[in-house]
Amino acid sequence: MNYRTYADMALHIKQILPKISDVDLIVGIPRSGMVPAYMIGAFLNCYVCSLDEFVSGIAYSKGIRSVRERTVKKVLVVDDSVNDGLAMRRAKERLQGKEKEFELVYMAVYAVEKATGLVDVYADICPQPRFFQWNYMYHPGLLPQACLDIDGVLCVDPTAEENDDGEKYRQFILNARPLFVPNDKVKALELLGVERYDLVLLDLNLPGRDGMTVLRTLRQTDRETRVLILSARSEVEDKVEGLDAGANDYLAKPFHLAELEARVRSLTLRQFTQPDVLLTCGGLTFDTRARVAFVNGQALTLTRKETGILEYLMVHRGRPVSQEELMDHVWDNSVDNFSNSIRVHISALRKKLRAALGYDPIRNRIGEGYLMGGTEE
């Protein structure tokens, strides 16, 4: 994260003052462009106005006495930065025709390499991701990308040597030099970007941000951290939405503490993410993207529930999976523990696998559950 302070801006502006010292008027592009405009105005003892004031003609016809008493010929139009160039292009559009009256010079204090052609003058190349002290409140989405120490203070970026994902980085995080302390508390997403957790207990009714938004944002960059939703929203639709958004489990309130403890134990013992696209077990292959099973290259015709059972058993190949676990992760909670539905679907699945493979790869361990990994007899 490239961080710039007011002091940095002042320093960079001073370094390019010789290039802009002959201007008669400084026009700031609101909002953030007014910051460098006033700085330059103070350094050059030159009048400053906003883009709106300049376009309307107030600044040089009806405005401040010091401007009226001299002829305005050269005008500096300035913004704090140029990235995609949208603000600068809009400013140029509004100033069409003014070049007949004035010599217009366009400037940005900070620019990315690809946008330098949009301005006549820039002070420093500052690539993305970047974070400015004077406008952080207008860009809340930048904070999760910033380098934060464990107290949530914006800090310098680690060097290549420090960024080793090991002990050097841990020491860097613990001792990073602070640059800026946000007014807001660092929220869950920022902490998840700094620390690794075995499990996240997520309430959907969070202050200031909906828990479902937190979950979806997390899953954009992190598919591995396990998430257990705890919520008073107990309808099937709520549970489906949470699981589809990336939660590994969903526990409706009120619940018994013993059940929560059991689910935490289960989640922290299991490996839910499957980096491989293809899961294999003997002659059986499952494509996790297409969600199709193959036996020796031939696709199997399975129902939706049979597909879900097979995928879950293959992901957890080598350990028994209980009927209750399948209920939690393949079925919604509309099925109860005494339902025969699960056994019927598993029986149908095993029959299809036996016909295709010549043997049944699923074993039933009494008192433990179903085990994927059987071999040809």
pLDDT per residue as tens digits for the range 277-301:
788 888 899 888 778 899 988 899 9
The answer to the question of residue 377 being in a domain is: no
- Position 58 scores a pLDDT of 65
List pLDDT tens digits, range 26-37. Answer: 999 988 899 999
Distance CA(301)–CA(227), nearest Å, equals: 32
Residue that terminates a domain, selected from 241, 269, 297: 269
Q: Read off the DSSP letter of residue 63.
A: S
- Position 68 scores a pLDDT of 46
One domain for residues 344 and 284:
yes
Nearest to 364 by CA among 336, 306, 314, 323: 323
- Position 195 scores a pLDDT of 58
- Does the structure show a pLDDT above 50 at 62? no
The CATH number covering residue 241 comes to 3.40.50.2300
Secondary structure class of 368 (helix, strand, coil): coil
Tokens 């705890």 — which residue? Answer: 230
Distance CA(12)–CA(124), nearest Å, equals: 7
pLDDT band at 66 (very low <50, low <70, confident <90, very high): very low
Answer whether 121's CB lies under 8 Å from 107's CB: yes
Q: What are phi and psi of 121, to 5 degrees?
A: -140, 140
Residue that terminates a domain, selected from 269, 297, 312: 269
One domain for residues 227 and 316:
no
Tell me the one-letter amino acid at 231.
S
The CATH number covering residue 297 comes to 1.10.10.10
What is this structure's pTM? Answer: 0.44
Q: Quote the crossing angle between the two packed helices 304-315 and 341-357, to the nearest 10°.
A: 80
- Position 289 scores a pLDDT of 76
The answer to whether the Cα torsion of 220, 223, 226, 232 is positive or negative is positive
Distance CA(225)–CA(195), nearest Å, equals: 11
Answer whether 327's CB lies under 8 Å from 335's CB: yes
- Does the structure show a pLDDT above 90 at 145? no
- Position 315 scores a pLDDT of 85
- Position 282 scores a pLDDT of 85
- Position 27 scores a pLDDT of 93
- Does the structure show a pLDDT above 80 at 206? no
- Position 377 scores a pLDDT of 46
Distance CA(356)–CA(291), nearest Å, equals: 18
Number of domains in the chain: 4
Average pLDDT, the chain: 81
The answer to the question of residue 28 being in a domain is: yes
Read off the pLDDT of each residue in 272-279 and give the average, rounded to a whole number. Answer: 60
**Domain range for 330:** 278-372
17 is written with which tokens?
A: 């003052």
List pLDDT tens digits, range 101-142. Answer: 889 999 999 999 998 999 999 999 988 877 788 876 666 666
- Does the structure show a pLDDT above 50 at 159? yes
